Structures are given as structure tokens and as C-alpha cells.
Amino acid sequence: MEDTGKKGLVMIADSDSNVRALVGRFLTESGYAVTFATNGYEALDAARKSRPLAIFADILLPRLDGLALCRLLKSDPATAQVVTVIVLSVLAAEEKVKRAGADAYIQKPLERSRILATLEEAFTRSNTDG
């Protein structure tokens, strides 16, 4: 499912349909187009094809976890410079997330203001780093 948005495409990779719906609503209400993936390999394939601006990836994604997904996206020349990866988790995993190369980390529960602020901060950092 994809919605059209003015600010660009963002992917939500999470096996929980409630999380996908919640984060998707936050993003679409803020002007982003949204696409969804339910496992890590689906997210990886879709990211290589659609080149979203950002991916919110749950750390506990099935088939390919969010940390492995992040490492693959950051090491792939096709996606490394275009995709911001924000890892979501119920786990306290900030150090693991940093080591995987993620641009940001949000510990659940998810709040609209934290989702949007983290996304904007990650975009600002990536635009000033490059």
C-alpha cells in the first residue's frame, strides 16, 4: 500500500499491523507518502526499488532483523546515500543500533511528536554530514 505525499516516501517495516497503521497515520498526516513491509527481506527489496527517504525498521523484524537490514542498506551503494534508517524497538538497544549504522533509534511506545522530530533531526543530520 502506498499513499501519495508531498514530502517524499517513507517506509515502515514492522510485523505488527498496529504499529504500521499508527506510524503510517502520523507520517501521512504530516505530508509523507508511506509504504509498508512486514519482514526484513521485503523491506530490503522494496528499499532498493523505491529508494524511500527513510525507513522505520523494527529491531525484531522476521526473516531479517532490523539491525541486519540497517547494515545491508548502509553498505549497499544503491541505498547507502539515500536512505535514512530509524530503528524502532521495545528493547533498550541504543548501542546495538548505533553499531549497526542507524541514523536514529526510538524506543517504543511510539508517540507522534517523537516519530516526527526524530525523522526531521535525522534528515537535518544527513543533509549537513554530506
- Tell me, what's the pLDDT at 70? 96
User: What is residue 4's predicted lDDT score, i.e. its pLDDT?
Assistant: 57
| pLDDT score for 53 | 94
6 within 8 A of 30, measured Cβ to Cβ = no
Q: For residue 45, what are the contacts with CB-CB under 8 A and spacing of at least 6?
A: none
Quote the pLDDT of residue 129.
61
Q: Are 19 and 58 in contact (CB under 8 A)?
A: yes
Dist CA 100 CA 92 (whole Å): 14
The per-residue pLDDT for 100 is: 96
Extract the residue ranges of the chain whose pLDDT is less than 50.
1-3, 130
Helix axes 40-50, 66-75, angle to 10 degrees: 30
Residue 54 is placed in which grid cell? 527513510
What local confidence, expressed as pLDDT, does residue 89 receive? 93
pLDDT value at residue 92: 87
